[in-house]
Structure 1
Amino acid sequence: MREIAIVTGGAQGIGLACAKRLREKGVEIALWDIDETVVNAAASEIGAVPICADISNWASVTTAMEETVSKAGEPSILVNSAGIAGPNAVIEDYPLEDWRQIFDVNTTGSFHMLKAVLPGMKQRNYGRIALIASVAGKEGNPNASAYSASKAAVMALAKSAGKECASFDIAINAVTPAAARTRIFDQMSKEHIDYMLSKIPRNRFLEVKEAADMIAWLCDRENSFATGAVFDLSGGRATY
């Protein structure tokens, strides 16, 4: 059966690694990213359909969905990897605009993507969805309150959505990666990066391919039971 996946944040990092892994499994990809130049280049590299979209904006999401269906077809898979980290600061000094933007992209963006794909998946009685959260959502990183709180909300969203869709053949799960050395590090201070590494018992950062391997399974028909769950990718850091 022909399968089509939307991968947001798909032009780089974990999103691009997931897109490559799904392509290896024969899945057709609609690669979504806010950076038109970068997404066009990445899509050309892996043979995907490039879609320029801002998942924090509902109008942009609906337009991107229409373009996806027109150019690729109805999606049966969603990997929502788009996200931002924001600055590092203590809570009393945290910029209000950055707090709002982080929640707009990470949390509301995840909601927008579910809202966009679920009606079609329910109609066809099939879907596989992976929301990329973070171990920060479990542990709460100091000087990263907005990012940590937004990713905790993504986990709760996956649990709620998984229960809502449990009577359909739709699996909705979250994953909680430890830090991977991607462009998101550009938003963080060196002190914060060092802090994150110090908390990983494996004593190294996550490789994006390792994340892609787990996420590809969650988005496969083989995953016929797990839903509303959170899968750990923290290298031993998470305590629950």
Structure 2
Amino acid sequence: MNQWQALPLWDDEIPSAVAVASDVEVLAPAQRCWWTDTVGVFDLETTGVDVVSDRIVTAHVGLLGSDGEALRAQSWLADPGIPIPDGAAAVHGITTEHAREHGAPAPLVVAEIVAAVRDLLDAGIPVVAYNAPYDFSLLKYEALRHGVAPIVEPSPVIDPLVLDKAHDRFRKGKRTLEAVAAHYAVPLVGAHDAAADAIAAGRVALALGRRFDIDAPLHELHAQQIGWARAQADSLTEYFIRVGRLDADDRLDGSWPIR
């Protein structure tokens, strides 16, 4: 089940920036950076947290203007083909019975999600995903499971979790999407709904870009996030070892944006 709202599927006429109203000032190319342009957004709600074995239940892929306005939106409800654990259903609100009755077949949903994300990336539009390795890795394994050609090296990707940790490293408090959205004054109504989370993550990314003037070209920012994510995982690994949550020989996987 999928539905585009307000605007059609993107095609070969996607501009590098989309004016959402006639009175919106269009920046000259030399003045543009990614947060003054359009960004894609992507989020999954699933049967669990294991990216290899768990399945997609709901998903959202969309396009936001630089003001955070939703320009295009596509959402899916899948029948994942396995029971949805009660704990997962309590988070996103989708039960096994509901998914079986109303969801589209998983192979069709996975193929459409992959195509929508790939269209954005192929157009050079950065895709925002909060904690990107989770969503992109799970999508990869779902694609492999259902015979769909996976996205193995997604780029350019923007991960607000990585950016926030890199630019405000010593801030106290949680780094969940809800907490980070509140910190940057981004409304998040209906957390753990794929559309709500994807749009909020996109708006957080735009807020981070403005707050810290993150103006690196997209290919450079993508490469920077690879390094930041690895350093953040190493730092967390050392902390977990100190407090006894990991053995000295264990390491957290800092691969980004896919594992």
Establish whether TM, by shorter chain, passes 0.5.
no
**Structure with the higher helix share, 1 or 2:** 1
Q: Which has the larger radius of gyration?
A: 2
What's the TM-score once normalised by structure 2's chain length?
Answer: 0.30
